[in-house]
Structure 1
Amino acid sequence: MSEHKEPSRRDATAPAGNAARPVTLRINGQSHTLQLEPRTTLLDALREVMHLTGTKKGCDRGQCGACTVLSNGRRIQSCLTLAVMQEGRDLTTIEGLSDGDALHPVQAAFVAHDALQCGFCTPGQICSAVGMLAEARAGEASAVQPLAAPTLPLGDEEIRERMSGNLCRCGAYPKIVAALREVGGRQGKR
């Protein structure tokens, strides 16, 4: 009986002769052409090939949200999408949110409210929050607000529901909610 050996994730991100193909990704405003196997996840391309390690590999199953990035402004779990599926899209990682030394408003609110402990989930939380606020601004429905209507400023229950796909092992949820209440309130008054 022959044993079937699964290739490791690291093998999937390394150029592998004829199996690798050019994939052009627009990441944080710049185009990059990478040689990737078609089965390479966006998460592995970002971390292992592009060395953008702000995006975290938590569960690698789409359950924790640590790998959340933005694709055309929409939040996605980078461990669940293949890099080749993101060609032609604008990808934003945590590294691309700030403008030089000027933090994105969500990043600044996280700092001001001390909305982190170990920080492992923070990049995914912040990217998810940026996408979530855009969804709310656009009037997208949620389980709390089922009818499509602009929902800013956001209440605590709405924030918790919309951020429910991002887990924090340290339990910093009250401070995360406070940070997003502040940012959502400011954006709701524009």
Structure 2
Amino acid sequence: MDEGIAAVVAASIGVPGALVGAFLGYRAGLAQAKATLKGVELQLAGERDFALWTGKRDAYSTFLAAVEDVSIALDRARSLAGLYLEAGIGAGRAATAAGQELRQKHKDLLFRQSALRLSVDGSRADDAEALVKIASAGVQDFEDWTDALNPHRGDDDAAFTRLRENTRRLKEGIVDWAANARSDLVAGGTPPQR
């Protein structure tokens, strides 16, 4: 075969081979780029899920801590006010301070409830609102009871009975709410991997 013809035959074989190789390389690069893009999308979705789960967990825990603080402050204020009744004037400062602490803890709870609504769905936030209403009723019952202790102000037995009942309801509500919050977090699975 003549060298010129051999070169033409080689070129006619090589050019389509090069074109096929280039096309296959382009397709492989495109597939690799799509896979990389999909991987980045999955990573971003995972990071988003992790951030949402963490935000929900933090909102649950801060709200739970705040409502438990109100419950503890309510018990403390009630106990110190009772001591004041038994011991007289000397324990009045401690009872007053406990009442002020209770009001501050209640205010903190209201802020935590607002923050909770940003991180959780409607039903769990509604359950939290019901719990806050019980806590608020307990705080009001404490105020009513301490006002009723003052002569000629009211029936301290009825106010104390309401206070005890709402304190009990609050403690039970905290246990139920915490169990439901824990179930929500578990139902969402373990924290998404970053």
TM-score for the superposition, normalised by structure 1: 0.22
Higher strand share: 1
More relative contact order in 1 or in 2 (CA 8 Å, sep 6+)? 2
Larger Rg: 2
Larger fraction in helix = 2
**TM-score, scaled to structure 2:** 0.22
